[in-house]
Each structure stands twice: as C-alpha cells, then as structure tokens.
Structure 1
Amino acid sequence: MAEKMWRISICMIMAFLLCACAGNTNMEKKVRDLDFTVVSTADISEELKKHIDERKEESFTLIYRDGEEMYLIVGYGRQSGGGFSIRVNDLYLGENAVCVSTTLEGPGTDSRTDGETAESIVSFPYIVLKMETMDAPVIFDI
C-alpha cells in the first residue's frame, strides 16, 4: 500500500512539473523586454537542427546555448496542411526567469501541387529565437 501511494505521489509531482513548464498562463511580472532575433532555418547550426529533428513530431520547447548566445525553440509538432506561422506574443525578463509566449497561427494558404490535398501535406512548425545568454530559467507559454 505504501509503495502504491509513493507511485501516485511521484506521478502527481511529475504532472505538476510538466504543467508548470509548458502552457503556463501565470507568466512572471515583466521587469524589462529582451532583444531577440528570429533565426531562419538556413541559419540554424547542424547540431541544433539535429536536436529539433529529434523532437519535431510532438510539441516541444528547447533551450540551446552556444557561447554568448542562447536559443529558445518552440515547436508545435506534426500538423496537417501547410502555411502555419508562429507569433511571438512576448519575450521578456521577469523577476526570476526569462518568459516567452508564442502562438501557432494558421494554416494559411499552402502551396499544393496537382493531386495533393491539404490532408496529404504534413508540416512541423517551429520557431528559433536567438538572444543573449542569460543564467535565468526560462518559462514557456505556448
């Protein structure tokens, strides 16, 4: 009985932590906006592309540091159709963390060739945001 309670407690803690990390609508109070750049797919390093490809089937968030720069990546997993875009709602320094909020928009108009249907097109929308490296934790709101 004690082992069963222990397992249930561990599951509840894990569920709480997962909810706290993704989809957090309780973003921290803004201290200041942070400068960032949206990185095009052509400018992503091969190592970072590998990390993205390993995760792209499902929704994901990723923090990647490369020297002086930090990359915040948000992926929305497998989507039927094309023409999606990702809007950055906010990226700022909170009292204790970097906070980033994004929204998947679309689908827009996709580029189908003859014989293709919207259902036959699969995409994996993600966005890569480059900013100065910070030692603060990151809260994603997706």
Structure 2
Amino acid sequence: MGKKAGNFRKIIFSCTAILFLFLVAGCSVTDLGGEKKQELDFTVLEKEDIPEELQATIEEKKDEPMKLTYTDQGQMVLVRGYGKKESSGYSIEVKELYATENAVHIRTELKGPGEKEQVIEKSTWPYIAVKLDYHNRHVVFEE
C-alpha cells in the first residue's frame, strides 16, 4: 500500500504543479466592448490605392466573406468583404468606426442593388477598404 500511496501523492503533486503553472502563466481576457471613446476619421480607399500586398490577400480571399486588418507606416487598413455575389450593383456603407479603451470597432452594411439601378448579371466581389491612423488596439468587425 505504501507504494500506491506514494504514486497517488506524486500524481496529486503533479496536477497541483500544472494548475499552478497555468495560474502563473495566466490567460488574460480583454474586454473588447466598452464605451465609445472617440469617433475615428477614415478614408475609403480606391482599389488602386490599396497596398499591393493587401490587394493580393483580398484577391485570394474574395470568394468568402472576409475581415482583414493591415498595418504599415503608422496607418492601418481595415477590409470588410462580403464574398461572391451573382450580380453588380452592391455598395458598402461604413455605419460606425470608433475606438473604445481596448479596441477599434467598425460596422459596415452591404446594400443590394436598388430597384432603379441597372444590374449586370455577372459575378462581383463587393468589399470596402478604409484607411485610418494606426491604433494599438484589437479590431472588432461588428455585424
């Protein structure tokens, strides 16, 4: 019995040590919600103004909905794509772009072709790219 009790103690000690390491290493949870601190100024980029590296990533991922963040030289570009659509006439509106203590929040809306709009039956991949000053915060794409 002494050997079994010794093994049991080793197992308990090992489990306690592992638990302690998890607690010391700590997993932090950041609250990405919070109160609006400020509205952020932004510029909607034309396709030719999007950095080449980012444009290549957009091309790779355009068939599915996408949310991308790209940073370069004190600027950040947020991209929200809505995947492949079977016609033209879509537009995207930035409804909100603001900062909280821990995050930058962007909310966009896809608008379908209007009733009076001439629609071409061909595949399109609507997306929007907005440039703003760099913020060292998480980015939250809201629906």
TM-score interval, smaller chain: 0.7 to 0.9
Higher RCO structure (Cα 8 Å, ≥6 apart): 1
Kindly report the root-mean-square deviation, in angstroms, between the aligned alpha carbons of the 2 structures. Answer: 1.5
Q: CA deviation at 1:68?
A: 1.1
TM-score (norm 1): 0.72
Partner of 1:127: 128
TM-score (norm 2): 0.72
The superposition leaves residues 69-100 of structure 1 with CA deviations (integer Å, 9 ceiling, x where unpaired) of 10000000001111100010000001210000
Give % identity.
40
- 2:33 and 2:142 map into 1 onto residues whose CA distance is 8
After superposition, residues 82-101 of structure 1 pair within 5 angstroms as: 82-101=88-107
110 and 49 in structure 1: CA distance in 2 versus 1, 3 angstrom threshold:
farther
| 3-state SS of paired residue (2:59) | helix
Aligned residues: 110
Partner of 2:47: 41
Q: CA deviation at 1:28?
A: 3.5
Runs of at least 5 residues in structure 2 that lack an aligned partner in the other structure: 1-31
Higher-Rg member (1/2): 2
Partner of 1:66: 72
64 and 110 in structure 1: CA distance in 2 versus 1, 3 angstrom threshold:
farther
Runs of at least 5 residues in structure 1 that lack an aligned partner in the other structure: 1-25, 113-117
- 1:28 and 1:63 map into 2 onto residues whose CA distance is 21
